[in-house]
Amino acid sequence: MEERKIIIPGETIVHGDEFLPGDGARREGQDIVACKYGLSDVNDKLVRVIPLSGVYVPRRGNVIIGTVVGVTFKGWLIDFGSHINGFLNVTEVPRYIGRGELRDHFDFGDVVCAKVFGTDGGNVDLSVKLRGFGRIQGGQLIKVNPNKVPRVIGKEGSMVSLIKAATNCDITVGQNGVIWVVGDKIEDELNARKITEFICENSFLSGLTEKVEEYIKNDLKLEIKQTKFENAEVASENPQEEQIGEQQ
């Protein structure tokens, strides 16, 4: 694999008939040309641009954390920092809600963790039917660049497990770049925040997991407990792992 470098829109990434344009790239004659600013990634014959910036684009199966910004007769409008608001229908809530009772369930300003189950026709449909979804209370929200979320999760959730083991916090990562951290003590949550910020700042380093481990041990003076979090947050982690499969 070639070394990754910053690519500017309109720049030729590779030349040759054998390459295939992936995300953020197009074919022009024999050249594969970038349509986006980001890092070039030539994997075998597939050429794509890994974006460094840009808004979060919701995809089916993503977990998002957003705020209720509107209540209609049929559901709630959720703002999750994208170019469009998501819609959470009353029927996607795991209990019966009568007419006029919507504000008793989720009110304006409530923070909700939801799953994207459809993105057709320009609408983003959300659901909170599965376990682990719904209104968020307590803990802290950390906002990061949505393009760095795959780094925060790590390969098959390894980075999240590392943060969990080091800080003893419960962590839910929203694909839209909002991370929810709940710990027993506020110090634990602050440590989790520091580690997350460290990951985002150093997301280009190779061997990031080792660097983060060093940072946790040397700078924060925390110990990493070898606990398995296999059962925790199953509902919210599975879709993230799917996403990693795509990103890696």
Partner 1 sequence: MTKVESLYKKRSDGRKFDELRPITAQVGVVPSADGSAMYQSGKTRAVAVVRGPRLLHPKHMENPQRGILRVTYQMMSFSVWDRIKPGNSRRGQEISKVSEWALNEVVNLDAFPNSVVDVIIQIPQADAGTRVAGLNAAAMALAQAGVPMSEMVCAVAVGKMDRTLVVDVDKEEEDFHEGEGPTDVPICMTSRSNKIALLQLDGKISVPELRELVKMAREGCKKINEIQIKALREPGKEIKG
How far is residue 160 CA from its own chain's centroid?
12
| Choice from 22, 54, 118, 134 touching partner 1 (CB under 8 A) | 54
Among positions 14, 39, 42, 55, the unique one binding partner 1 when judged by CB under 8 A = 55
**Measured between alpha carbons, how far is 167 from 169 in angstroms, rounded to an integer?**
5
Can you tell me the distance from the alpha carbon of 111 to that of 152, in angstroms, rounded to the nearest whole number? Answer: 21
User: Which is closer to partner 1, CB of 84 or CB of 182?
Assistant: 84
Q: Judged by CB under 8 A, which of 36, 105, 194, 211 binds partner 1?
A: 36
**Which of 40, 67, 85, 191: binder of partner 1 (CB under 8 A)?**
85
Choose which of 6, 20, 186, 234 interacts with partner 1 (CB under 8 A).
6
CB of 83 to partner 1, least distance (A): 4
The reply to whether 72 sits near partner 1 by the rule CB under 8 A is no
Nearer to partner 1, 24 or 75 (CB): 24
Can residue 26 be called a binding residue for partner 1 (CB under 8 A)?
yes
Residues 163 and 151: beta-carbon distance below 8 Å = no
Interactions with partner 1, residue window 131-160 (CB under 8 A): 147
Question: Using the rule CB under 8 A, which residue among 46, 52, 71, 130 binds partner 1?
Answer: 52
Class of residue 5 by CB neighbours under 10 A (exposed 0-12, middle 13-18, buried 19+): exposed
Task: Judge contact between 20 and 8, C-beta under 8 A.
Answer: no
Specify the residue, 54 or 118, whose C-beta has the smaller distance to partner 1.
Answer: 54
At residue 230, φ and ψ (nearest 5 deg) are -65, -35
Instruction: Decide if residue 50 touches partner 1 (CB under 8 A).
Output: no
If one asks whether residue 38 binds partner 1 (CB under 8 A), the answer comes out as: yes
Piece of the chain touching partner 1 by CB under 8 A; list 50-58, 135-143, 180-188, 202-210: 50-58
Nearer to partner 1, 48 or 164 (CB): 48
Per CB under 8 A, does 53 bind partner 1? yes
Burial class (CB in 10 A: 0-12, 13-18, 19+), 100: exposed
Q: Is position 8 an interface residue for partner 1 (rule: CB under 8 A)?
A: yes
Which stretches of the chain bind partner 1, using CB under 8 A?
Answer: 6, 8-11, 24, 26, 33, 35-38, 51-55, 57, 83-85, 122, 147
